[in-house]
Homo-oligomer: A and B are copies of this chain.
Amino acid sequence: MSRADRYLRACRKEGVDCTPLWIMRQAGRYLEEYRAVRARHSFIEVCKTPELVVEITLQPVRRFELDAAIIFADILLPLEKMGIDFEFTKDEGPQIHNTVRTRADVEKMRAISPREEMAYLMDAIRLVRRELNGQVPLIGFSGAPFTLASYITEGGGSRNYVFTKSLMYREPDAWHLLMEKLTDMVIVYLGAQIEAGVQAVQVFDSWVGCLSPADYREFVLPHQKRLMASLDPAVPHVHFAFGASHLLPLVAEAGGDVLGLDWRTDIGTAWKALDYAPAIQGNLDPVALYGSREYLKRRVTEILAGAENRSGHIFNLGHGILPNTPVDNVKYLIDLVHELSSRR
């Protein structure tokens, strides 16, 4: 077996020779070759130029023995064609100029035709698949409806989600309409990515951890469930709700062949509580890569022990890798995971 197969086999809970591993935001600022590209091109320019997307997507796969590539994109991109006007500021992350805070705002949002309107991404997916030539599988992704809703109601990142929750708590009908529109969008968006060639899809619900279980059940679950059930069953579906250990049974209920876990969740306890039904992905704290080798090895050993070498564990960080991460430790981590989990 080689790195061509491990990730997809693990997604399906089939046996593997060692635990597959990829790293969230593996194509990113911690790599000097990424910074070199970004020195010449803005973030949005990179996203919309298929040749640059190919280059950046492949950088980490060339450098490290990673078991999957993930297409380089941003979760906000499809919102542009829904009528949301945003920019990526240098330091403060995404900034949305026409926030969505009323029913009228929601009604204005358009459906998208990603095959045509986001041809740059679909072209990039086809090019990456050709370049990869079967060496490792390619993952596509989207933001989850809640996380997208939180960006466009807040206007960017948020601490307390006052605008998002105010819409939920004061105008539940408008909220549900917003979630329906976003769910419809994610379904066609991931459908187009699958058609273009991605071999698995991951849905990132990065900010849903701000909700209580009762709110998740009422305002998110029906939409997330419909989304997960509507995706093409030919490719594995990964559902990653960040900071949501308190929502885990509900996230599992929403669906996903693979559930992503962050480091707050003890992987052994969580997988057992899920009756080992889904495959799981995670869950090293990205900051552990700043630690001593001794510390890093101890935590990796604990995570692998928690997963008990069962089929269906994909090693990953519990959140995106941070920009200043020491690159030597990334290589050390990848080799360590493969070595410690070797079934041969």
Residues of A bordering B, CB below 8 Å: 160-162, 165-166, 168-170, 172, 209, 211-215, 245-246, 263-266, 285-288, 290-292, 295-296, 299, 302, 322, 324
Q: CB distance B292 to A212 under 8 Å? A: no
Number of copies: 2
Closest to A244 in B: B264
How close is A272's CB to chain B, nearest CB, in angstroms? 14
Q: How far is the CA of A287 from the CA of B287 in the complex (A)?
A: 30
How close is A174's CB to chain B, nearest CB, in angstroms? 12
How close is A312's CB to chain B, nearest CB, in angstroms? 21
The 8 Å CB contact of A170, one of B160, B292, B299, B322, is B292
Q: CB distance A287 to B170 under 8 Å? A: no
The 8 Å CB contact of A165, one of B165, B214, B291, is B291
Write 29 A-B pairs (CB below 8 A) sorted by A numbering. Answer: A160-B287, A160-B322, A161-B287, A162-B290, A162-B322, A165-B285, A165-B287, A165-B290, A166-B287, A166-B291, A168-B291, A169-B290, A169-B292, A169-B296, A170-B290, A170-B291, A170-B292, A170-B295, A172-B295, A211-B264, A212-B266, A213-B264, A214-B266, A214-B302, A245-B245, A245-B246, A246-B246, A246-B265, A246-B266
Q: CB distance B169 to A287 under 8 Å? A: yes
Q: How far is the CA of A266 from the CA of B249 in the complex (A)?
A: 13
Closest to A319 in B: B160
Q: CB distance B169 to A295 under 8 Å? A: yes
* Chain B residues in 8 Å Cβ range of A265: 246
Q: How far is the CA of A142 from the CA of B161 in the complex (A)?
A: 27
Closest to A214 in B: B302
* Chain B residues in 8 Å Cβ range of A266: 212-214, 246
Q: How far is the CA of A246 from the CA of B243 in the complex (A)?
A: 10
* Chain B residues in 8 Å Cβ range of A292: 169-170
How close is A153's CB to chain B, nearest CB, in angstroms? 12
Closest to A291 in B: B169
Closest to A162 in B: B287
* Chain B residues in 8 Å Cβ range of A299: 214
How close is A108's CB to chain B, nearest CB, in angstroms? 23
Q: How far is the CA of A213 from the CA of B160 in the complex (A)?
A: 24
* Chain B residues in 8 Å Cβ range of A263: 212
Q: CB distance B245 to A160 under 8 Å? A: no
* Chain B residues in 8 Å Cβ range of A322: 160, 162
Q: How far is the CA of A299 from the CA of B288 in the complex (A)?
A: 38
* Chain B residues in 8 Å Cβ range of A162: 287, 290, 322, 324
